Amino acid sequence: MSLRTRAANFAHKTTVLTLVGLTVFGFVEVGILFNQRRAQSKEWATRRELNKLSQELPSESISSSIDNDNK
């Protein structure tokens, strides 16, 4: 095998490996970002739900339940 052919094969292999590596890295990054956004939206939904529930409950029932828990 000539030196030119070996150099071309090496260049081709390194190019393919680089592209595959970048593709895998990209998919991993997108997956991480997607999971972070999903977790953040769940946290926001939980906060909204807690705020909604705290507004629905009268403050007297909250303080009386705290007093009952302390007894």
> What are 5-58's pLDDT values in tens digits?
999 999 999 999 999 999 999 999 999 999 999 999 999 989 898 888 888 776
Residue type, position 64, single letter: S
The pTM is what?
0.55
pLDDT of residue 11: 97
Which of 51, 48, 29, 49 minimizes the C-alpha distance to 37? Answer: 29
pLDDT of residue 21: 97
Both tokens assigned to 53: 């529930």
